[in-house]
Amino acid sequence: MTRMPNSLAARDIAYHLHPYTDAAKHEADGPLILTSGKGIHVFDENGKSYVEGLSGLWCVSLGFGEERLVEAAAKQMRKLPYYHTFAHKTSDVTVELAERLIKMAPVPMSHAFFCNSGSEANDTVVKMVWYYSNALGRPNKKKIISRIKGYHGVTVASASLTGLPNNHRDFDLPIANIMHTECPHHYRFGKPGESEEDFATRMAESLEAMIQREGPDTVAAFIAEPVMGAGGVIVPPKTYFEKIQPILRKHDILFIADEVICGFGRTGNMFGTETYKLQPDIITVAKQLSSAYLPISAVMINKKVYDVIRDNSGKIGTFGHGYTYSGHPVSAAVAIETLKIYEERNLLAQIRDVAPVFQKELRRFADHPLVGECRGVGLVGAIEMVKNKKTKESFDPKQAVGAHCIGRAQEHGLIVRTLGDSVAFCPPLIITKDQVVDMFARFEKALEETAAHVKANGLQAA
């Protein structure tokens, strides 16, 4: 592609190393440069508009251009643009946000610890769990079990929790004491004829076998997203968490719910914890906490965990962990405003009204010859394309069928993300029914063009 040497695209290629991007391909293809947004739409440098079908990265819940959030940030910037929370200091808005979070938590929680991203929150959790075990005089109880295809971030410990190969490969991860149990994706890993319930039993038995193999005295915690996001939008099979949780309790293993995507309405309840009746000891939230207008995340811990951390920090003289921007007042002010908007506009009612249309539209592709599975809950879902609908065989990743499909979608003014050959949908929570229909109509064009591409190149089984 030719481009002006001083264009934004050329400068981006020259100076910017992108996250989650093939840098070599980027030099050839260049970036898509977005310059503004309004509601569920974003606009590129040429003025072309796109439906943001993934809310950015599963985060811009209130859409683009929410003036109240802009105002909340500006007001706080003028009043107190920065203060920290080390050594007994805090700001008024940080106190208010902590209280709000603890009071709205889906299960009794005691205290909130602030960070800046989902990764930092989960990294903090790993350290808290180790601190907790040491404080209790259980130095061997340190292992944390995560799940294959789980996504918990990219910092050293959180990337270790993440169960996706590209987050480990050539990074020398995972670190010690982190292991991955099976992925509870019934469509992919269920045996022929196995019911969701039987599959869930098998997943729970497999987890228990791992705990026994490792030694229950060495396993400190289990972490799970209520709905696995970046692993492919994997909704738990029926009775999964019902069967997992007693095993954790039996072996005195802390349960960490990573609500970074599910938190604040995505699954049709305020938290995925409610949707799947979880009883976590620790909950991490980020993304929709501030509608992504500013970076902020939080770790909520229950009294059992808090009391141990309190006593141990009392013994040592500090809880030696925290970030310059933990509880940043501008981020906190924006988060408070976001939570107020959720409440005042009764966003949950709006989500519950729109979700059935979203799920119906998503599932109308189930019979398409290229589609293996349509799955989702609330306002999140995925459509998985397969080489062979009967055997569920996947395409060779080198054929990049998913990437082709989202490329076509982009042409039709829809930004979505491909996770393998699954196309994920996670629009802003403010999306209307008509906009849902429009979003899937754009996807339909992309899917048909992908089907034609697959056929023309002989990629699908006869």
Interface residues with ligand PLP (CB under 6 A) are 57-58, 117-119, 122, 151-153, 225, 229-230, 258, 260-261, 286
Q: Are strands 143-147 and 219-224 parallel, antiparallel or unpaired?
A: parallel
94 or 284, CB closer to ligand PLP?
284
Instruction: Please report how close the Cβ of residue 298 comes to ligand PLP at its closest, in angstroms.
Output: 12
Instruction: Please report how close the Cβ of residue 272 comes to ligand PLP at its closest, in angstroms.
Output: 10
**The tokens 């906009």 sit on which residue?**
435
* Residue whose C-alpha is closest to residue 302's, from 82, 101, 62: 101
Instruction: Say what angle helices 329-344 and 67-79 make with each other, to 10 degrees.
Output: 150
276 or 365, CB closer to ligand PLP?
276
Residues 6+ apart with CB under 8 A from 226: 236, 241, 257, 259, 262, 267, 271, 272, 273, 275, 276, 278
Q: Are strands 49-52 and 414-415 parallel, antiparallel or unpaired?
A: parallel
Instruction: Please report how close the Cβ of residue 149 comes to ligand PLP at its closest, in angstroms.
Output: 11
Instruction: Please report how close the Cβ of residue 225 comes to ligand PLP at its closest, in angstroms.
Output: 5
Closest-by-Cβ residue to ligand PLP is 118
Query: Peptide bond before 174: cis, by omega within 30 degrees of 0?
Result: yes
Instruction: Please report how close the Cβ of residue 63 comes to ligand PLP at its closest, in angstroms.
Output: 19
63 or 272, CB closer to ligand PLP?
272
d(C-alpha 144, C-alpha 223), whole Å: 7
Q: Which helix (H) or strand (E) holds 354?
A: helix 347-363
Instruction: Please report how close the Cβ of residue 58 comes to ligand PLP at its closest, in angstroms.
Output: 6
152 or 404, CB closer to ligand PLP?
152
Neighbours of 66 (CB within 10 A): 22
H helix intervals, 215-346: 240-250, 272-275, 303-316, 329-344
Instruction: Please report how close the Cβ of residue 23 comes to ligand PLP at its closest, in angstroms.
Output: 19
229 or 327, CB closer to ligand PLP?
229
H helix intervals, 53-140: 55-58, 67-79, 92-104, 118-135
Instruction: Please report how close the Cβ of residue 295 comes to ligand PLP at its closest, in angstroms.
Output: 7
Q: Are strands 143-147 and 178-181 parallel, antiparallel or unpaired?
A: parallel
What's the Cα-to-Cα distance from 244 to each of 161, 210, 211, 216, 423, rounded to whole Å? Answer: 18, 12, 12, 15, 28
Instruction: Please report how close the Cβ of residue 118 comes to ligand PLP at its closest, in angstroms.
Output: 2
218 within 8 A of 140, measured Cβ to Cβ: yes
d(C-alpha 431, C-alpha 70), whole Å: 20
d(C-alpha 133, C-alpha 366), whole Å: 47
